Amino acid sequence: MMESGLSEQDQDQLHTDLEKLWVQIRIQVHKIFSEDFSPDSLREALVCVLDQEDLDRAWLDFPPDLVPVWRPSRTLQNHDKLLEQMVRSRLKPKTRDPEPDQDQTSRTSTVKQEVLRLAQVLLGDLLLLSRSVVRAYPGHMDILNRFLKLYHNSLRLRLQELADASSDDDRAYLLLWTNHSYRREILLHPELKDRIRTSDLGPLLSPVVLKKIQDQHQESTQGRVRQWLGNILLKEEESWRSGSGSEEIDGFCFSPVALEVIQVIDGALQELKCVRPDQGPDQGPDQGPDQGPDQGPDQGPDQSETQIWLEVPVFLSRYTRSLEEFLKENRRNRASIVKAQLVCEEQLRSLVQTRVVDVALRRRCLESLSALRDCGYCSLTGTVQSQLKPLLSGLWTPAWVCGTLPVLDSLLDFLIPELDQLQDLKPTCRQAVLTRLHQEVALRFVKNLLKSRRRSQEEQEGGARQMKADAHNLHNFFTAQGGACDRTTQILVQVSEVLRLQDPDLIQLELVSLVRTCPDLSAAHVSRLLFVKSGQSAASIRQIKRGVEETRPSPQGSTNQSAAFFSRIKVKWFDDKMAAALTELKPKRN
């Protein structure tokens, strides 16, 4: 039976001719990546491909029984499959044995080698296609973008395989290359970026695979940070117990702990930032680095960074305990070690205050740092603190009030040689120690006042003059030593003014000012301060206390520990003492 007016012999000849044509087309397409590639020959082959496509379309309107068996020839479809096969072949894994003279640690990771090879093949092929092959294809075929999509899809499959077999380092490299290098080195290549379309490529790694790798990398990075911080502390502890003092820089005691911790944290955060999917090929080559579609509330930078910062309070707590245990051993180098650790505390506090975003986490870090600072402060000033009470026991005695007992002179004579031992402490740390010590002395002045009995007006005025004079002398002394004394001096002067004044309205104004300086001045402290003064009626005292409370500033959301003063003076015993005194003042019934 004849089909389409052709004899069976003619049909066989047509089949043979079509097969020969397809062989020639395959040969020319396969030459694309070979040295004897000819754009003209490929162009001739593509003319035949498109001619066959036109003939296939021409037969679509004929009844099936009239269509030749070789129609449709699907030459264009086969051409596209051939391109896909070629691309897969180009990206096919090539394994090779490592060099025999390389040990395991010096060999480049197989995964990294393969990614580098894939990148090299991909870029080289796209450049070749852009420079010569596209000239052989008609513009409507958009062959460069067609190749790009084929490469992208094949690359996605290869990266999925590599991700399943990756180690910790491999995962970091995969994330870095996928999220950054692919776009920067290939999609944004100067010869390609204006000729390719990336918006419909999609991500190289599926969301499931990407999240898996990110979680694994996050966990391994956090584990490394924990290990490195532990090693820093271990090395420091060994240095403490070696018997040698801390090293000195510019004549001041120094320890590298804080700088090493900062390096570890910065290194980990920078690594996470580098591999974070803040860019993707689906963005297009012209979008900025902060427009990544993968950023969100669950995968944003804050969460991953917070996970790293979580290791800091744990380290700081261990650090403080280690220093406390070391100080219990009472070694000869303890003073030098403590001075160096105070420098570290200052550096770490600056890091936490400026870099830790999470409020609760920052509070935890600062609490540990405060414990570390307190430990160092107590160690350096332990001798002074033990002598403050006996040296200042003469405060508010009649001899001191009238100026014949040189209490402050004795204290300063004692402090001078003690503070000379702080000369090799970093100036900013020395200032913090001196400022706190100054506050300790001022607290003793106020505490002794509040413990004292009622004062006559003459005693009030004399004590106020002496307290103000001592306050200025203390200010000059600690300022000369390097302390920051303005606030503490202001407190002592204001307390002395409360003691000196006799007009209820002026007393109230001074107490209101004192509350603003010291928000921790409680109603119990005000009551006790007024109790020391005599000459005020019960009504005046009630009026003063009511006026102070009505103008008291609202408490802040967070307490500033460095501003605490009166809260360090316990007042429960004041209440008991006042109650007993008031009982004595009540008229006895007959």
Read off the pLDDT of residues 209-241 as tens digits, 9 standing for 90 and up.
888 888 888 899 999 999 999 999 999 999 999
- Residues 338, 246 share a domain: yes
Quote the CA–CA distance of 272 and 289 in Å, as a whole number.
15
- Residues 365, 218 share a domain: yes
In a domain, 490, yes or no: yes
Backbone phi, then psi, for 6, in 5-degree steps?
Answer: -110, 145
Is 298 within 8 Å of 383 (Cβ atoms)?
A: no
Cβ neighbourhood burial of 120 (10 Å; 0-12, 13-18, 19+): exposed
DSSP conformation class of 191: T
The secondary structure of the chain in percent helix, strand, coil, rounded to multiples of 5, reads 70, 0, 30
- Residues 178, 84 share a domain: yes
- Residues 74, 14 share a domain: yes
The pLDDT value given to residue 508 = 94
pLDDT tier, 141 (very low <50, low <70, confident <90, very high otherwise): confident
Query: Got the DSSP string for 567-586?
Result: GGS--HHHHHHHHHHHHHHS
Cβ neighbourhood burial of 587 (10 Å; 0-12, 13-18, 19+): exposed
Is 309 within 8 Å of 262 (Cβ atoms)?
A: no
Read off the pLDDT of residues 227-284 as tens digits, 9 standing for 90 and up.
999 999 999 999 999 988 888 998 999 999 999 999 999 999 988 888 876 544 444 4
Range scoring the smallest mean pLDDT among 68-82, 189-203, 427-441 = 68-82
The pLDDT value given to residue 341 = 96
The pLDDT value given to residue 303 = 79
In a domain, 198, yes or no: no
Higher pLDDT, 311 or 49: 311
Backbone phi, then psi, for 3, in 5-degree steps?
Answer: -120, 125
Q: Is the pLDDT of residue 299 over 60?
A: no
Quote the CA–CA distance of 470 and 101 in Å, as a whole number.
79
User: What tokens were used for 553?
Assistant: 């500033």
Read off the pLDDT of residues 16-68 as tens digits, 9 standing for 90 and up.
666 676 777 777 777 888 777 777 777 777 777 777 666 666 666 666 665 56
In a domain, 408, yes or no: no
Helix (H, G, I), strand (E, B) or coil at 33: helix
Quote the CA–CA distance of 89 and 451 in Å, as a whole number.
92
Is 545 within 8 Å of 589 (Cβ atoms)?
A: no
Q: Is the dihedral of CA 454, 458, 461, 467 positive or negative?
A: negative
In a domain, 405, yes or no: no
Instruction: Residue 398: name the closest of 456, 316, 332, 313 by CA.
Output: 456
Is 349 within 8 Å of 401 (Cβ atoms)?
A: no
- Residues 242, 135 share a domain: no
User: What tokens were used for 169?
Assistant: 């380092």
Q: What does the pLDDT average to over 66-84?
A: 70
Instruction: Residue 163: name the closest of 118, 206, 105 by CA.
Output: 206
User: What tokens were used for 297?
Assistant: 């509330």
Q: Which long-range contacts (CB under 8 A, 24 or more apart) does 69-77 make?
A: 69/3, 69/11, 70/11, 70/14, 70/15, 70/18, 73/18, 75/21, 75/22, 75/25, 75/48, 75/49, 76/49, 76/50, 76/52
Read off the pLDDT of residues 322-342 as tens digits, 9 standing for 90 and up.
999 999 998 899 999 999 999
Instruction: Residue 566: name the closest of 522, 523, 533 by CA.
Output: 522
In a domain, 385, yes or no: no
In a domain, 426, yes or no: no
What are the residues facing 253 on neighbouring strands? Answer: 248
User: What tokens were used for 231?
Assistant: 């090693």
* Half-sphere exposure (Cβ direction) of 144: Cα atoms closer than 13 Å: 22
Q: Mean pLDDT over all residues of the chain? A: 83
- Residues 27, 126 share a domain: yes
Range scoring the smallest mean pLDDT among 13-22, 523-532, 576-585 = 576-585
Structural domain containing residue 279? 207-286+299-375
Q: Is the dihedral of CA 279, 285, 287, 288 positive or negative?
A: positive
Backbone phi, then psi, for 203, in 5-degree steps?
Answer: -70, 150
Read off the pLDDT of residues 454-511 as tens digits, 9 standing for 90 and up.
888 899 999 999 999 999 999 999 999 999 889 999 999 999 999 999 999 999 999 9
The pLDDT value given to residue 477 = 96
pLDDT tier, 297 (very low <50, low <70, confident <90, very high otherwise): very low
- Residues 222, 351 share a domain: yes
Helix (H, G, I), strand (E, B) or coil at 198: coil
E runs forming strands in 191-341: 247-249, 252-254
**Rg of the Cα atoms in the chain:** 41
Domain final residue pick, 337, 359, 375: 375
Query: Got the DSSP string for 451-519?
Result: HS--B-HHHHHHHHHHHHHHHHHHHHHHHHHT---HHHHHHHHHHHHHHH--SHHHHHHHHHHHHHH-T
- Residues 183, 211 share a domain: no
User: What tokens were used for 179?
Assistant: 């999220």
* Half-sphere exposure (Cβ direction) of 248: Cα atoms closer than 13 Å: 9
The pLDDT value given to residue 98 = 45
DSSP conformation class of 331: -
Higher pLDDT, 524 or 583: 524
Buried b (16+ CB within 10 A) or exposed e, 69-101: ebbbbebbeebeeebeebbeebbeeeeeeeeee
DSSP conformation class of 66: G
- Residues 536, 485 share a domain: yes
Quote the CA–CA distance of 195 and 210 in Å, as a whole number.
28
Q: Is the pLDDT of residue 3 over 80?
A: no
In this structure, which amino acid lies at residue 131?
Answer: R
Q: What does the pLDDT average to over 121-138?
A: 87
In a domain, 32, yes or no: yes
CATH of residue 333: 1.10.357.50
pLDDT tier, 582 (very low <50, low <70, confident <90, very high otherwise): low
In a domain, 580, yes or no: yes
Number of domains in the chain: 3
Domain final residue pick, 375, 396, 420: 375
User: What tokens were used for 120?
Assistant: 């090299």
- Residues 573, 500 share a domain: yes
Q: Is the pLDDT of residue 555 over 80?
A: no
Read off the pLDDT of residues 357-416 as tens digits, 9 standing for 90 and up.
889 999 999 999 999 999 999 999 999 999 999 999 999 999 999 989 999 999 999 999
- Residues 535, 465 share a domain: yes
Distances (CA, A) of 162 to 138, 214, 238: 36, 15, 42
The pLDDT value given to residue 82 = 83
H-helix or E-strand containing 261? helix 257-275
Q: Which range is most confident: 45-54, 99-108, 162-171?
A: 162-171
Quote the CA–CA distance of 67 and 136 in Å, as a whole number.
32
The pLDDT value given to residue 319 = 96
- Residues 447, 370 share a domain: no
Domain final residue pick, 152, 187, 222: 187
Q: What is the rounded end-to-end Cα distance, in angstroms, of the chain? A: 147
